[in-house]
Amino acid sequence: MPSTCWPGSIVPEARATYPDSYYAASLAEGGGYGPLAGNRRVDVAVIGGGFTGVASALELVERGYTVALIEAQRIGWGASGRNGGQVTGSLSGEAGLKKHLRDVPGGDPAAFVWDLRWRGQRIIEQRVARYGIACDLKHGHLQAAWKPGHVAALKADLDAARERGMGDQVRWVERDALRELLDTPLYHGALRNDANLHLHPLNLVRGQARAAASQGAAIFEATRVLDIEHGATPRVVTDGGVITADNVVLAGGAYHRLGRPELTGKLFPAALGIVATAPLGELAGQINPEDLAVYDTRFVLDYYRLTADRRLLFGGGANYSGRESSDIAAYLRPRLEATFPALAGVDIDYQWQGMAGIVPNRMPMLGRLADNVYYAQGYSGHGIATSHIVARVLAEAIHGQATTFDAFAGLEHGRVPFGERFGNTLLALGMTWYRLLETIR
Ligand SMILES: Cc1cc2nc3c(=O)[nH]c(=O)nc-3n(C[C@H](O)[C@H](O)[C@H](O)COP(=O)(O)OP(=O)(O)OC[C@H]3O[C@@H](n4cnc5c(N)ncnc54)[C@H](O)[C@@H]3O)c2cc1C
């Protein structure tokens, strides 16, 4: 091992590698972190180096805790470093949250959820500015009506945003005017929101890890957590040593199998795929002149945006079987070309997929496996903003202010019977049902 490669330090080459994606090919900075070798004692051990884990680690070191962050592969290797990069004010399961959240700060669940909706953008913007994170952050998003029948719901959202004082950031774009913003025949109008962001997620998560490390967080890549042994000071057992802590945060997303049997049958991995075209040059300005991120109003939607080097990054559909699909480009090319006929035959340079954690009722899952072992997962495909909100809520709870955490922890997340074996099949059936409903909406 070279002398610079002590556990927790930045090293030129980390052992594990990223999947072959546009994001991995455009890292803002190189380096990685060595694996754990030996035992450690910290205030908080965080398992999982995605947004939930990394943002939690950063929140905690900022509050003065000693933190060890343990990642089986590399920082951002999971969904956080593979996603569409769209940071939108949409919490998954929002209707359920308004209905079922109890004892929220301020006492009004609707107002609380509305504020929460926008907290993630603020956290990310402040963090990017504070730590100088190069992640191609831009403003501007369109939620585009797939059918005429979808317009009313978008306009209701617009009215709600105006009523709550966001009038200068949102507006309705009529179908004809939309052709000026997107060179596509597909939509029936769109809700434009300039508070929403889009960015390079892998660089964002790695930038936050660097910020946490610079404040003393010990980060271990290529270190798999095998077990959490509960007790007054829980022990996080890894393949490289044991970390003993006062508190543990489990943030393994859709990629972990820890916390059994409590978490069994409650969260299901769905494989989501993305492609990135070759750089489009001037065509990029033709199809999306204001560089907006876009998704449509379907339950299982398409989403896309331009990258900093003017590729179209396009994602859509989902494989709810819990397994990855074989040829993402073959599946997405017809959807991409139907969206932008000008891109017919375009070269696709990258295709990849990642696992998002789907919760049947769509509400984020926060809770405790023991008094001092917290978990957070299950953002159902809307996780960039949500994970940053959740990380703050987790850190506040560990710091002694648990009201918001407890409100989330009180939500009921039913266990799917035989979920471990058949949960994904049931999920796929449920999604088919929703798609059917959509044909008559
Ligand atoms: C293709 C795709 C597109 C998406 N697009 C968007 C989008 O545009 N906007 C949006 O808001 N959301 C999007 N999402 C969802 C979003 O990416 C996720 O909700 C979010 O990144 C989840 O973050 P996380 O930290 O909880 O999990 P992850 O990022 O998956 O991180 C979990 C980490 O835990 C590690 N881990 C697991 N088990 C262990 C173990 N035993 N020991 C150590 N480490 C372990 C994994 O290696 C992984 O790195 C998308 C998801 C996918 C897959």
77 and 34 in a single domain? The answer is yes
Residue nearest to ligand 1 atom 53, measured at CA: 354
- Does 323 fall in a domain? yes
- Does 423 fall in a domain? no
Q: Would the pLDDT of 7 be above 50? A: no
Distance from chain centroid for Cα 60: 20
- Does 73 fall in a domain? yes
- Does 114 fall in a domain? no
Retrieve residue 55's tokens. Answer: 């943002």
194 and 290 in a single domain? The answer is yes
What are the pLDDT digits (tens) for 62-110? 999 999 999 999 999 999 999 999 999 877 888 899 999 999 999 999 9
Q: What is the pLDDT of residue 8?
A: 47
Residue nearest to ligand 1 atom 32, measured at CA: 252
Residue-number span of the structural domain to which 177 is assigned: 138-198+268-358
Ligand 1 center to 55 CA (angstroms): 12
Q: Which atom of ligand 1 is nearest to the CA of 383?
A: 19
**Number of domains, the chain:** 2
Task: Report the CATH number at residue 315.
Answer: 3.30.9.10
Task: Report the CATH number at residue 35.
Answer: 3.50.50.60
Q: Which atom of ligand 1 is nearest to the CA of 255?
A: 37
Ligand 1 center to 162 CA (angstroms): 32
Q: Would the pLDDT of 435 be above 60? A: no
347 and 260 in a single domain? The answer is no
208 and 248 in a single domain? The answer is yes
Retrieve residue 79's tokens. Answer: 């969904």
173 and 320 in a single domain? The answer is yes
179 and 153 in a single domain? The answer is yes
301 and 175 in a single domain? The answer is yes
Q: Is the CB of 367 under 6 A from ligand 1?
A: no
- In contact, 226 and 239? CB cutoff 8 Å: yes
277 and 192 in a single domain? The answer is yes
165 and 18 in a single domain? The answer is no
Q: How confident is the model at residue 418 (pLDDT cuts 50, 70, 90)?
A: low
Q: Supply the pTM of this predicted model.
A: 0.94
Residue nearest to ligand 1 atom 14, measured at CA: 381
Number of H helices and E strands in the chain, helices first, is 11, 19
- Does 233 fall in a domain? yes
- In contact, 347 and 329? CB cutoff 8 Å: no
285 and 176 in a single domain? The answer is yes
Q: Which atom of ligand 1 is nearest to the CA of 225?
A: 42
241 and 375 in a single domain? The answer is yes
Residue nearest to ligand 1 atom 50, measured at CA: 83
